[in-house]
Chains A and B, each alone.
Chain A
Amino acid sequence: MVDITIGAAGAIQPAEVKDVELYHPKSWVTKYVFSQDAKVIAVQYSITALSIGLVALVLSWMMRLQLAFPSSFSLIGPAEYLQFITMHGMIMVIYLLTALFLGGFGNYLIPLMVGARDMVFPYVNMLSYWVYLLAVLVLVASFFMPGGPTGAGWTLYPPQAILSGTPGQQWGIILMLSSLILFIIGFTMGGLNYVVTVLQARTRGMTMMRLPLTVWGILTATVLALLAFPALFVGCVMLLFDRVLGTSFFIPAVVELGQHLKYSGGSPLMFQHLFWFFGHPEVYIVAVPAFGIVSDLISTHARKNIFGYRMMVWAIVAIGALSFVVWAHHMYVSGMNPYFGFFFATTTLIIAIPTAIKVYNWVLTLWRGDIHLTVPMLFALSFIVTFVNGGLTGLFLGNVVVDVPLSDTMFVVAHFHMVMGMAPIFVIFGGIYHWYPKVTGRMLDEMLGKFHFWVTFLGAYLIYFPMHYLGLLGVPRRYFELGETAFVPQSATTLNIFITIAALTVGFAQMVFLFNLIWSLFKGKPAGSNPWRATTLEWQTPETPPGHGNWGKELPVVYRWAYDYSVPGAEQDFVPQNQPAIARAA
């Protein structure tokens, strides 16, 4: 074969991949604070994302308390309720899920999995984190400004987002839009790194088709994000101009409290197009890395090669491409041209094909595998079930005629929490349990982990299954309280109390998880270098946790794909990627 080079006497050819020129930290500050090491940046991203995610979790408790016990808590009024739902949604989608999958997992895993010393632009990578942190701080600042954070809903639809009836119209919306703009700038810096590192810094022998699916997932999601976030950027800048400079990009002629406002001629629909051109790929920006990670977790913990690797890669790419032509299925009731609805419903249903291929392949990977029900595996399995459940309700909502009556009901809330709330967060938990031993050198406590898993998994279903039913009853989303509504029976209130108790219980389990993260850091069982007996390169580092530059003196050489588990005739039930085949007789 033309692309195989064989050195004299079996020696490896000189490095084809130039080592990244490493920045060597000279002080504690440059090593741990303003660090250019992707591993430290990954931990910084993860801690920040989990911290702000905790704020969003507490906000969800506030909402649930209000829904279960209306008007019982003086600190939750109608305005605060709207602010809580807005901040909860935006934080969870952007500042937790996106940041953790790409900034956290991406930074830690890409250089290690492709066999590089670091990202290709370490300084820009460091800036990426600090701009992200600034975005988070600007967002948090809106809690302390006059009028509080914006209550426009996470979609920030104009004209209501900037009109005086919406909470946070004074400062909240300005800070929200500014924070999003900063986030996108920070992400772009990181995203360039992730893409170019995968393209150019793969070690010798690491072809694209030998990459673990985690890297394929993160790479595809990053490309999606780099192309989709500009739409949000444009929407935010123009909305900010409308709010601050008095332009009318999105605001039509409005009469507010009997007075004509200075706006005229703007198109609210244009904002929706921009928002959802970002918003739908965003679903896959979160889901595609989850697809990749879950593939690796299942293969490793079922001791079996991934079924249909090539098909998995094609499906990831196909899903990424299709995700750009489905955005208006979020806009069936917006008043857009009805013929568009037909087109977007069709593309939406087509995307189910590559997604179903992935689900079948995961199930077939499990088929007759040596399944170890470790905590990462439990979370991976729960992802499959939950993603399928959430995906099936997506088929309902993707059809125009079914979507119209279900729009803006709790059914939609239940659907997207299953498919892009709980399902990806299960993968995040699974990923943390799986790679924590590599990051810290210690195992997370398994008993606490299983407690965390079962409460979270069962709790998620106790929360969201009944919520579908509420939606079918017609219970609207975003309502502070239902009051005396004729079409909603009294039993809905009882169900709301049930859901709230389940939500608070799941919330408690997350505290156990946080305790486990901290406790195991000091008291966890030492992990060794490869506790899961995995094949991928990150488990083959000379040190655990990996040292500066990851690989000691020489970069690893890759001889095989990432899924050689239970190979017949092999000494162990896994063969690392950097292990060559036994020399053949000439």
Chain B
Amino acid sequence: MSITILFFLAPIGVIVAWWLSQQRLMAKPWLEVGAIGEVRDTGASSLPAAPIGLGVFLAVVSSLFALFISAYFMRMQVADWVQLPAPKLLWFNTGVLILSR
């Protein structure tokens, strides 16, 4: 499980590291006083807030799914695991979901 979680965290870490690298973390803000009219670019994305919020939410949901799936897989490895039946309807539903995109 530990390994699965670390695999999930790695891409999140890469995204966070990439974002941080765009934020001028090496700046010396104490030396950067602007005169009137000198307005620094905040570094915010040009995208509206809603898609960014959705992106953050998807990261949370992915975390949820990664943990559910890894816990489920761990449990499957125990000898008494009973395989759940996969009715044909499941594949049909999955197909409809893919097509709905």
- Could you tell me if B29 and A209 are in contact, using CB atoms closer than 8 angstroms? yes
- Complex interface: chain A residues within 8 A of B5 (CB): 277
- Complex interface: chain A residues within 8 A of B16 (CB): 223, 321
- Could you tell me if B44 and A199 are in contact, using CB atoms closer than 8 angstroms? yes
- Complex interface: chain A residues within 8 A of B53 (CB): 120-121, 192-193, 196
- Complex interface: chain B residues within 8 A of A560 (CB): 29, 32-34
Interface: A233 (CB within 8 A): yes
- Complex interface: chain A residues within 8 A of B57 (CB): 188, 192
- Taking the closest CB of chain A, its distance from the CB of B39, in whole angstroms, is 5
1/0 contact string of B9-40 vs chain A (CB within 8 Å): 10011001000100111111110111111111
Interface: A580 (CB within 8 A): yes
- Could you tell me if B56 and A270 are in contact, using CB atoms closer than 8 angstroms? no
- Taking the closest CB of chain B, its distance from the CB of A535, in whole angstroms, is 12
Q: Within the complex, which residue of B13, B49, B60 is in contact with A230, where a contact is CB–CB below 8 Å?
A: B60
Q: Within the complex, which residue of A3, A11, A209, A227 is in contact with B63, where a contact is CB–CB below 8 Å?
A: A227
- Complex interface: chain A residues within 8 A of B45 (CB): 199-200
Q: Within the complex, which residue of B26, B49, B67 is in contact with A234, where a contact is CB–CB below 8 Å?
A: B67
Q: Within the complex, which residue of A10, A234, A321 is in contact with B13, where a contact is CB–CB below 8 Å?
A: A321
- Could you tell me if B37 and A273 are in contact, using CB atoms closer than 8 angstroms? no
Interface: B98 (CB within 8 A): no
Docked Cα-Cα span, A3 to B43, in Å, equals 9
Answer whether A4 and B39 are a contact pair too, CB < 8 Å, given A230-B63, A309-B30: yes
Docked Cα-Cα span, A3 to B16, in Å, equals 22
Give the contact stretch, choosing among A24-32, A259-267, A426-434: A259-267
- Could you tell me if B30 and A580 are in contact, using CB atoms closer than 8 angstroms? no
- Could you tell me if B42 and A581 are in contact, using CB atoms closer than 8 angstroms? no
- Could you tell me if B12 and A227 are in contact, using CB atoms closer than 8 angstroms? yes
Docked Cα-Cα span, A508 to B72, in Å, equals 48
Interface: B96 (CB within 8 A): no
Docked Cα-Cα span, A196 to B1, in Å, equals 30
1/0 contact string of A369-403 vs chain B (CB within 8 Å): 00000000000000000000000000000000000
- Could you tell me if B67 and A274 are in contact, using CB atoms closer than 8 angstroms? yes
- Could you tell me if B44 and A265 are in contact, using CB atoms closer than 8 angstroms? no
- Could you tell me if B39 and A227 are in contact, using CB atoms closer than 8 angstroms? no
1/0 contact string of A46-76 vs chain B (CB within 8 Å): 0000000000000000000000000000000
- Complex interface: chain B residues within 8 A of A309 (CB): 29-30
Q: Within the complex, which residue of A10, A13, A207, A558 is in contact with B23, where a contact is CB–CB below 8 Å?
A: A207
Interface: A317 (CB within 8 A): yes
Docked Cα-Cα span, A114 to B38, in Å, equals 18
- Could you tell me if B24 and A324 are in contact, using CB atoms closer than 8 angstroms? no
Count B-side interface residues using an 8 Å CB cutoff: 50
| A residues 243-264 in Cβ contact with B at 8 Å | 248-249, 264
Q: Within the complex, which residue of B35, B52, B79 is in contact with A584, where a contact is CB–CB below 8 Å?
A: B35
Answer whether A16 and B42 are a contact pair too, CB < 8 Å, given A210-B29, A310-B25: yes
Q: Within the complex, which residue of A5, A188, A200, A583 is in contact with B39, where a contact is CB–CB below 8 Å?
A: A5
- Taking the closest CB of chain B, its distance from the CB of A534, in whole angstroms, is 17
- Taking the closest CB of chain B, its distance from the CB of A274, in whole angstroms, is 7
Interface: A332 (CB within 8 A): no
Docked Cα-Cα span, A563 to B31, in Å, equals 11
Interface: A366 (CB within 8 A): no
Interface: A95 (CB within 8 A): no
- Complex interface: chain B residues within 8 A of A200 (CB): 44-45, 47, 49, 52
Answer whether A10 and B36 are a contact pair too, CB < 8 Å, given A234-B64, A313-B25: yes
- Complex interface: chain B residues within 8 A of A6 (CB): 37-38
- Could you tell me if A270 and B25 are in contact, using CB atoms closer than 8 angstroms? no
Interface: A226 (CB within 8 A): yes
- Taking the closest CB of chain B, its distance from the CB of A188, in whole angstroms, is 6
- Complex interface: chain A residues within 8 A of B75 (CB): 249, 265-267, 270
Docked Cα-Cα span, A248 to B25, in Å, equals 48
Interface: B92 (CB within 8 A): no
Interface: B81 (CB within 8 A): yes
- Could you tell me if A267 and B78 are in contact, using CB atoms closer than 8 angstroms? yes
Interface: B7 (CB within 8 A): no
- Complex interface: chain B residues within 8 A of A584 (CB): 35
- Complex interface: chain B residues within 8 A of A264 (CB): 80
Nearest residue (CB) in B for A231 is B67
- Could you tell me if B52 and A196 are in contact, using CB atoms closer than 8 angstroms? yes
Nearest residue (CB) in A for B61 is A230
Interface: B93 (CB within 8 A): no
| A residues 215-232 in Cβ contact with B at 8 Å | 223, 226-227, 230-231
- Taking the closest CB of chain B, its distance from the CB of A210, in whole angstroms, is 5
- Taking the closest CB of chain B, its distance from the CB of A236, in whole angstroms, is 11
Answer whether A317 and B20 are a contact pair too, CB < 8 Å, given A121-B53, A310-B26: yes
Q: Within the complex, which residue of A188, A205, A234 is in contact with B42, where a contact is CB–CB below 8 Å?
A: A205
Docked Cα-Cα span, A3 to B68, in Å, equals 44
Looking at A200, A248, A328, the one whose CB has the most chain B CB atoms below 10 A away is A200
- Could you tell me if B2 and A208 are in contact, using CB atoms closer than 8 angstroms? no
Nearest residue (CB) in A for B66 is A230
Answer whether A10 and B27 are a contact pair too, CB < 8 Å, given A17-B44, A324-B9: no
Interface: A195 (CB within 8 A): yes
Q: Within the complex, which residue of B34, B49, B67 is in contact with A580, where a contact is CB–CB below 8 Å?
A: B34
- Could you tell me if B33 and A559 are in contact, using CB atoms closer than 8 angstroms? yes
- Taking the closest CB of chain A, its distance from the CB of B9, in whole angstroms, is 6
- Complex interface: chain B residues within 8 A of A249 (CB): 71, 75
Docked Cα-Cα span, A520 to B37, in Å, equals 41
- Could you tell me if B60 and A227 are in contact, using CB atoms closer than 8 angstroms? yes
Interface: A285 (CB within 8 A): no
Answer whether A3 and B37 are a contact pair too, CB < 8 Å, given A192-B53, A226-B59, A324-B9: no
| B residues 68-100 in Cβ contact with A at 8 Å | 68, 71, 74-75, 78-81
Interface: A238 (CB within 8 A): yes
Q: Within the complex, which residue of B12, B27, B59 is in contact with A207, where a contact is CB–CB below 8 Å?
A: B27
Interface: A201 (CB within 8 A): yes
- Complex interface: chain A residues within 8 A of B28 (CB): 310
- Complex interface: chain A residues within 8 A of B67 (CB): 230-231, 233-234, 274, 277
Can you report 5 A-B residue pairs in the complex whose CB atoms are below 8 A from each other? A5-B39, A226-B59, A321-B16, A560-B34, A564-B33
Considering the complex of A and B, which 4 residue pairs feature the smallest CB-CB distances, nearest first? A561-B29, A265-B80, A3-B41, A580-B36
